[in-house]
Amino acid sequence: MDSQVISLAERVRQIKPSPTLAVDAKAKAMKAAGADILNFSVGEPDFDTPSHVCDAAKEAIDSRFTRYTPVPGILELRKAIVDRFAADHGWQYEPEQVQVSCGGKHGLYNMCQALFGPGDEVLVPAPYWVSYPPMIQLAGATPVAVPLAEESNFDLDPAILDRYVSDRTRGIIINSPSNPTGSVFSGATLAAIGKLALERGWVVISDDIYDTIVYGDEPLPHILDVDPRLKDQTVILNGVSKSFAMTGWRIGYSVGPKHIIGAMNKIQSQSTSNPSSIAQKAALAAVRGPQDFPVMMKEAFLPRRDRIVEALTAIAGVSCVVPKGAFYVFPNFAAYYGKSFKGKVIDGSVAMADYLLEEAQLATVPGAAFGADAFVRFSFATSMEIIEAGMRRLREALAGLS
Ligand SMILES: *Cc1c(COP(=O)(O)O)cnc(C)c1O
């Protein structure tokens, strides 16, 4: 008998592969084929993992710390996370309120699986991180995008929330500083979200993965500082990927109410069991050790941010909000949409990012991937030389459109 084409589960049809990883793959393939690509698409620090962290991993291997660990992660690491939360924020948690997962992304996935299901709606401020809507959809629930305006620096306007809230709203995802905008939610915005969450019993997911990369001296407002009662309704996502340049190690952590973490552990026990024992020891060195590495990275990112913002805003028709955190900038190129090159019309961010990649060898990520088509994301976790050269190419490429 001939072989059959096996059909796939319906849920796969609803989602697309991560577009950020797709652009990165295309840029790397072009580079491998000899193209002189300047890569602004990567979502990771351009620093190496610090030595004391690598040494802890070597020590874990040498001492044969190579077996299964408890599902939620080793107790030492969960205690270190609890201690860091107390030292950095004054928040009190128990190790039972912490789950260590295979990267921050996996923590968010576990959260969505534990919290949401068919009929549920989850508010996702847009521009949003690419993976929030598909993760909500994979749980059977519906993401509801709440638009953030460039004019208000991508802070959420609580007055518009009414339009997006329904009886089915179960929660909201906050990502401050944000990927892709670098923007931070104000204390007033968080207070308004917190008030609604308390009134309506929403869960608040606070993705704090960029909380060590905040520019300027103002303290970063946080939902937990709005009202102590919100602690019972909030799950925090963090990890070492961005703060310690450990994206490949795959360690993230979630902190929240015991019953939610317990449900996430049930899911993790039936899927990945535990994150890598070796990577957990490395993360322990990062979380428990000196905290100067994230500060050093932030100080290195700041002049790059200033330079890329200056170069972008100097281009006619381009506007760009100054990022307050993270290492992304999200310029608005809508003034160039409708123009064309060699008869091909640039009709949106996907066409723009394609044009920049093919004609200027600039790898970026189209804003459509983040639910905001007027924009294109540039990561400035790259060298000043690449920023200078990239901005020159960008100016020429945009001038070449008619
Ligand atoms: C990078 C990132 C994460 C976590 O990434 P992991 O590599 O899975 O730890 C989570 N949220 C946002 C917004 C990110 O940019």
Mark whether 273 and 148 lie in a shared domain: yes
**66 C-alpha to center of ligand 1: Å?**
26
Which CATH number belongs to the domain containing residue 328 in this structure? 3.90.1150.10
Mark whether 272 and 135 lie in a shared domain: yes
Ligand 1 atom nearest residue 242's Cα: 1
Mark whether 125 and 247 lie in a shared domain: yes
**Which of 288, 314, 342 finishes a domain?**
288
Please name the residue whose Cα sits nearest to atom 15 of ligand 1.
179
Nearest C-alpha neighbor of 398 from the set 369, 355, 368, 350: 355
**Which of 254, 273, 288 finishes a domain?**
288
**18 C-alpha to center of ligand 1: Å?**
12
Q: Where are the beta strands (DSSP E) in 156-293?
A: 169-175, 203-207, 234-239, 252-255
**133 C-alpha to center of ligand 1: Å?**
14
Ligand 1 atom nearest residue 252's Cα: 9
Mark whether 246 and 307 lie in a shared domain: no
Mutate to test the pocket of ligand 1, among 108, 179, 212, 240 (most ligand atoms within 8 A of CB): 179
**270 C-alpha to center of ligand 1: Å?**
23
Contact 47, 219 (CB under 8 A): no
- Per residue, what are the HEC states of 81-123? HHHHHHHHHCCCCCHHHEEEECCHHHHHHHHHHHHCCCCCEEE
Mark whether 228 and 301 lie in a shared domain: no
Contact 101, 71 (CB under 8 A): no
Mark whether 154 and 108 lie in a shared domain: yes
Mark whether 357 and 344 lie in a shared domain: yes
The first and second tokens of residue 288, run together, are: 């428990």
Judge whether 300 lies within some domain. Answer: yes
**379 C-alpha to center of ligand 1: Å?**
14
Judge whether 329 lies within some domain. Answer: yes
pLDDT, position 1: 66
The first and second tokens of residue 234, run together, are: 């909030």
Ligand 1 atom nearest residue 251's Cα: 9
Ligand 1 atom nearest residue 178's Cα: 13
**Which of 248, 268, 288 finishes a domain?**
288
Instruction: Check pLDDT > 90 for residue 2.
Output: no
Whole-angstrom distance, CA of residue 133 vs CA of residue 107: 15
pLDDT digits (tens, 9 = 90+) for 231-278: 999 999 999 999 999 999 999 999 999 999 999 999 999 999 999 999
pLDDT digits (tens, 9 = 90+) for 311-366: 999 999 999 999 999 999 999 999 999 999 999 999 999 999 999 999 999 999 99
List residues near ligand 1 (CB under 6 A): 43, 103-105, 129, 175, 179, 207, 209, 239, 241-242, 247, 252
Instruction: Check pLDDT > 80 for residue 24.
Output: no
Instruction: Check pLDDT > 80 for residue 17.
Output: no
Residue 302 CA: distances (Å) to CA of 237, 299, 342:
24, 5, 38
Q: Which residues lie closer than 8 Å to 399 by C-beta, 6 or more apart?
A: none
pLDDT, position 281: 98
**333 C-alpha to center of ligand 1: Å?**
26
Ligand 1 atom nearest residue 105's Cα: 8
List the domain range (segments joined by +) for residue 164: 67-288
Judge whether 371 lies within some domain. Answer: yes
Mark whether 230 and 297 lie in a shared domain: no
pLDDT digits (tens, 9 = 90+) for 275-322: 999 999 999 999 999 999 999 999 999 999 999 999 999 999 999 999
Indicate the number of domains in the chain.
2
Mutate to test the pocket of ligand 1, among 174, 242, 247, 253 (most ligand atoms within 8 A of CB): 242
Judge whether 56 lies within some domain. Answer: no
Whole-angstrom distance, CA of residue 181 vs CA of residue 125: 11
Mark whether 18 and 152 lie in a shared domain: no
pLDDT digits (tens, 9 = 90+) for 78-120: 999 999 999 999 999 999 999 999 999 999 999 999 999 999 9
Ligand 1 atom nearest residue 239's Cα: 9
Mark whether 314 and 230 lie in a shared domain: no
pLDDT digits (tens, 9 = 90+) for 213-226: 999 999 999 999 99
Q: DSSP per residue over 6-21, as a string?
A: ----HHHHH----HHH
Judge whether 58 lies within some domain. Answer: no
